[in-house]
Chains A and B, each alone.
Chain A
Amino acid sequence: MSSVEMTRLPVRSAAPVRRRPPTGRLLRSELRLVFGRRRNQALLVVLALVPVLVGIAIRVSSGDVEPGEGPPFIDRVSGNGLFLAFTSLAAVVPFLLPLATGVVAGDAVAGEAQAGTLRYLLVVPVSRTRLLLNKYAGLLAYSLAAAVLVAVVGLLTGWVLFPTGDVTLLSGATVSALSAVGRALLVALYVTASLAGLAAIGLAVSTFTEVPVAAMATTVVLAIASQILDAIPQLSWLHPVLFSHSWLYFGDLLRDPVPLGKLTEGLVLQAGWIAFGLALAWSRFTTKDVTS
């Protein structure tokens, strides 16, 4: 017995294991996973349809929209098509965008747990902290892609259906069309940042269950609940800390000069929720028994 062991021993055990510096391979793999999934692609298609549908609706309707009716800036679209990007983003921010973010966030850890792939990632080994950070990065990339997609499709649809040209901003100043396109992308970036708090909360929820649908639903419900609370005047003391409170602050990016007060406030609010969400996700995920 022992002689048999001796002859077998040396073959493999001399191989040293060296860690290489992270090259982003796991992140690329994560992005392929998120963007390659049919369901996530379908959500992007639905989001991309919003500017098209809104644009067509405005084009075929004869009646003018009064300022203050419908999604923000909708009254300006027929004057300058580039506003379609802003009005579309405003239309998807309350529900569709949180839904898309919530679906991908809820799936992040719970989906891997349900498929059983979580245990195999962990024994590779991937440290739990590293996995969470990669998941969160993939999530933000998806939110960013969704927001940019809505902005770009909005700009294109507006350009096709309506007159375009120099844009008169909310503050009355006029900027070139090119500058307006730049602002649209900036708005998309700000919208992504505004949803980063929700994404972190969704990631945390996802570490508490092995049922992705439950995590998705919980995240979306939280997004809706936050907005309902935000609409109740009697709770105004609570409003400044609700993660949805800053979701429409991006309108300030359409003024010249850009007033930074509220915009910064919104980013600080999101930073707080990101810290809370990631801390909760980390404390749960790094201590949990993986029995799935």
Chain B
Amino acid sequence: MSAPALPQVQPAAPVALDDAAPAVRTRGLTKRFRGGQVAVDDLDLLVPRGSVTGFLGPNGSGKTTTIRMLLGLVTPTSGEVELLGEQVPKASAKVLPRVGALVEGPAFHPYLSGRANLVRADAADLTSDPRTSRARIDAALDRVGLGAAATKRFRTYSLGMKQRLGLAAALLQPRDLLILDEPTNGLDPQGTREVRNLVRELADEGCTVLVSSHLLAEIEHMCDRVTVMRAGRVVAAGTLEELALLSRPSLVVETPDRERAAGVLRSLGASSTTLDPEGTKVRGELPDVPVEDVVRALVHADVAVRGVARAGRSLEDLFVELTGESSDVVG
């Protein structure tokens, strides 16, 4: 996937581009669909230039509706969208050629070849140069590793190939901003890794990336910032480091007597305790109690202790807590 670089558009004359403006900024963005359902609620989203920002949230939290509003597909009920310093949808014609997007899965004409689909996408772009069309399409196909399958009909593609073609379409032009909605969906581990590398590569070339996912691991691997969404609202935003600071250390007790151990931890002041799905661990937030006191209390309560460890809470715990996507929470 590290094939020839895409031809760059050469700056003809100094153009006043507002480089200081964030890549994405929304203010009070709200979408209420007919029927009253509020998909996005007063959303303030900020994606700084040059960042790879993860857009994290469980399915149905409003990520895709937000992305559709960013791209002018859906009209906000209220609020503003700015991409690269330009208002959307007012200045869409001006700003969207600088934005590559993958929205809710790839979509192409099934009876056209992958290549013919890209030809159509490029033909639709008023800013693209027809003379370089072939070279740019070939470069984009090579870059996503689809060169060999380019002449096959889209309907014969596997899900992974479809996803790659979607990425190729987003890379037909040099972009300042990529908005990728679940780009690794349907990819095998190898493909997932390739997409991650591609995203990092593009970021290194100076492209700002907003990548949405409902999988935290994806975001952790690709992103340096993250915005967490839940039920149409932002519940956390910052760099991965900042969010890690948010999470307080906790204590993990390995024991067959999970219920009793959880009770002891709560009696010592744990605000909440979590039973791990594997079934032998109890996690509790006890920042101020020394470990030896905890062990003593556990032994007094006749809990069979196999191990006790202090653990920094992972981003995943934070994510689960923020989005309420947990199945086994006690306390």
Contact = CB atoms under 8 A, between A and B. Distances in A.
Interface of A: 1, 4-6, 8-20, 22-23, 25-26, 28-29, 32-33, 36-38, 115-117, 119-127, 287, 289-291
A291 B105 CA distance: 13
B107 A20 contact: no
24 contacts: A1-B239, A1-B241, A5-B50, A8-B203, A8-B206, A9-B206, A13-B19, A13-B206, A15-B176, A16-B9, A16-B17, A19-B126, A20-B127, A29-B119, A29-B120, A33-B112, A36-B112, A117-B109, A120-B107, A123-B101, A124-B125, A287-B75, A291-B68, A291-B74
Contacts of A13: 17, 19, 49, 84, 176, 206
A38 B101 CA distance: 30
A120 B169 CA distance: 9
A22 B176 CA distance: 24
B48 A5 contact: yes
B9 A8 contact: no
Contacts of B24: none
A221 to B, nearest CB: 26
B161 to A, nearest CB: 16
B148 interface: no
A18 B127 contact: yes
Interface of B: 8-13, 15, 17, 19, 33, 48-51, 68, 71-75, 84, 92-94, 96-99, 101, 103-112, 116, 119-121, 123-130, 169, 174-176, 203-207, 224, 239, 241
Closest 7 CB pairs of A and B: A116-B107, A11-B206, A25-B123, A5-B50, A16-B15, A8-B50, A125-B96
Contact of B98 (A17, A20, A26): A17
A119 B119 contact: no
Nearest to B51: A5
Contacts of B106: 116
B94 A17 contact: yes
A14 B49 CA distance: 13
Contacts of A29: 119-120, 123-124
Given A9-B49, A37-B111, A123 B19 contact: no
Contact of A28 (B19, B97, B123, B129): B123
B99 A15 contact: no
Nearest to B10: A15
A123 B125 CA distance: 10
Contacts of A20: 126-129
A115 B49 contact: no
Contact of A38 (B111, B121, B176, B241): B111
A8 B206 CA distance: 5
Contacts of B129: 20
Nearest to A113: B107
A15 B8 contact: yes
Contacts of A10: 206
A125 B48 contact: no
Most buried by B among A23, A37, A123, A287: A123
Contact of A12 (B51, B116, B175, B241): B175
Contacts of A17: 9, 94, 97-98, 127
